[in-house]
Amino acid sequence: MTANGTVPLQEAAIEEGTLFFLPLPLLLELLNLPRQSQDNPPEALDAPGYWSCHAQWQRLLDGGLFVHPAARDYWRQRLEEERRLTNQILAQQDSGLDRLRCLAHSPLATELGCPSAGERLRRHLRDIEETDALLENELLLETRLADAFALALRLAAWRVVDLSLEYWELLAEDGEQHEVLLERFLPNIDATNGQWNNPVEDYLVHLAALVDDCPEQQDDYSSLARLWAREGMDVQTREYQLDAWRQGRRRADARTVAGLMDAVLDRLLDGGSAGDMSLNRQLLCESFRFVESCAYLRRTLSQLGIAETMIGEIFAVYRSEYFRARAVLGRPLAEKDSEH
């Protein structure tokens, strides 16, 4: 938002004709995933109806984003559904309001977007007759942002489920097969002080508790810095690195995170096999990537001026999408099981 509280249209518009699927560079930034090649296939440049964002997403899905074929197939189908909806909207010869109503009332608005934001927009559309009035309304712009960010969170939920099923036996050994994994690290408002929690800090404290049975304080993770410093860097430098992640001054790169997790696993596994190290490193690194991405996403939404209530609604889609992913991938999770 700008200083006077309005959201410029260009800040909220989704580029390249996409409705829910963000342009790939922005998605990869939000989820802290490696950048993909943006080179277009030469034969596609002049092809009729070529949609570069669609092609980039197809390459992402084909390039190992998911382990399980059912996950890839599900998201390919969703991508094609958006493409058909885009063509349907563009074919509308009537007013912009008709196009917006077509979007707002599409199944994808609930299935991929932020349902509560979409419902508010649909109520508003019933009472408005002029396109310009709606385009100037903050609700439309906030809804479009909420939809795009909600899809990013849904995609993250699928990555968590996809990886967890790859290591199902390990989850079962720890009794976590009935949990909505990582849900407790989602951003939420503290009821006592009205402030957002810090998922990165919460996860670092969690790691510190794993390696230190008697941490000095419940919210202290200085033991991580000392443990990590055994790799050859001084404790103060490691503390600065952890604090930069906690405060959001720096995003966590894959190589540095892997170094931290190796230090943690050296302590936990105490000379375990290389296979155990590799398996657990991936789980810890992916978990931290998810947590750090959620913290970054929440800060970005706050900086855009999105209301706290709507931010909470966006993160609320994680749970329902986690259940959907578990069902599609053949490991349905009952609501009563997740409460254990």
Tell me the per-residue pLDDT of 25-43, one tens digit each, with 9 for 90 and over: 888 888 998 876 555 554 4
What residues does 189 pair with on adjacent strands? Answer: 196
Instruction: Give percent of the chain above pLDDT 90.
Output: 44
Q: Where do we find the tokens 């570069």? A: 52
pLDDT value, residue 271: 62
Greater confidence, 15 or 236? 236
Q: What is the pLDDT of residue 45?
A: 44
Most confidently predicted of 30-44, 179-193, 269-283? 179-193
Q: CA angle, corner 320, sides to 86 and 63, nearest 5? A: 55
As to burial, measured by CB atoms within 10 angstroms (0-12 exposed, 13-18 middle, 19+ buried), residue 94 is exposed
Q: CA 121, 322, 294: angle at the middle one, nearest 5?
A: 70
- Per the model's pLDDT, the better-predicted residue between 279 and 286 turns out to be 286
Most confidently predicted of 161-175, 212-226, 281-295: 281-295
Between 334 and 3, name the one with better pLDDT: 334
Q: Which residues contact 124 (CB under 8 A, 6 or more apart)?
A: 134, 137, 139, 140
Q: Yes or no: say if 179 and 164 are a contact pair by the CB < 8 Å rule.
A: no
Beta bridge partners of 196: 189
* Whole-number Å distance between alpha carbons of 222 and 174: 26
Cβ-based burial of 53 (10 A; exposed 0-12, middle 13-18, buried ≥19):
buried
Residues near 168 by Cβ (< 8 Å), separated by ≥ 6?
Answer: 177, 331
Give yes or no for residue 123 having a pLDDT over 50. Answer: yes
Among 54-63, 66-75, 132-141, 250-259, name the one with the lowest average pLDDT. 132-141
Q: Tokens standing for 282?
A: 């991936």
CA–CA distances in Å: residue 200 to residues 139, 171, 175, 244, 268: 30, 22, 24, 10, 21
Q: What is the pLDDT of residue 273?
A: 58
pLDDT > 80? residue 270? no
Tell me the average pLDDT across 319-338.
91
For the segment 205-217, the average pLDDT, to the nearest whole number, is: 74
Q: Give the mean pLDDT of the chain.
A: 83
pTM for the model stands at: 0.88
Query: Residue 78: pLDDT band by 50, 70, 90 thresholds?
Result: very high
Comparing 118-132, 199-213, 283-297, 321-335, the range with the smallest average pLDDT is 118-132
CA proximity to 147, closest of 118, 168, 190: 118
121 within 8 A of 143, measured Cβ to Cβ: yes
User: Residue 290: which of 145, 147, 157, 188 has the closest Cα?
Assistant: 157
pLDDT at 114: 96
Of 95 and 244, the structure prediction assigns the larger pLDDT to 244
CB atoms within 10 A of CB 3: 6
Per-residue model confidence (pLDDT) at position 46:
45
CA 49 to chain centre: 29
Amino acid at 76: R
Q: What is the 3-state secondary structure (H, E, C) of the chain?
A: CCCCCCCCHHHHCCHHHCCCCCCHHHHHHHCCCCCCCCCCCHHHCCCCCCCHHHHHHHHHHHCCCCCCHHHHHHHHHHHHHHHHHHHHHHCCCCCHHHHHHHHHCCHHHHHCCCHHHHHHHHHHHHCCCCHHHHHCCHHHHHHHHHHHHHHHHHHHHHHHHHHHHHCHHHHHHCCCCCCCCCHHHCCCECCCCCCECCHHHHHHHHHHHHHCCCCCCCCCCHHHHHHHHHHCCCHHHHHHHHHHHHHCCCCCCHHHHHHHHHHHHHHHHCCCCHHHHHHHHHHHHHHHHHHHHHHHHHHHHHHCCCCHHHHHHHHHHHHHHHHHHHHHCCCCCCHHHHCC
- Give the mean model confidence (pLDDT) for residues 54-71: 90
- Residue 14 pLDDT exceeds 80: no
pLDDT for the residue 42: 44
Percent of the chain with pLDDT over 70: 81
- pLDDT beyond 90 at 242: yes
- The predicted pLDDT at position 35 comes to 75
The label of the residue with tokens 């990013």 reads 152
Q: Considering only CA atoms, which of 194, 174, 150 is closest in space to residue 287?
A: 174
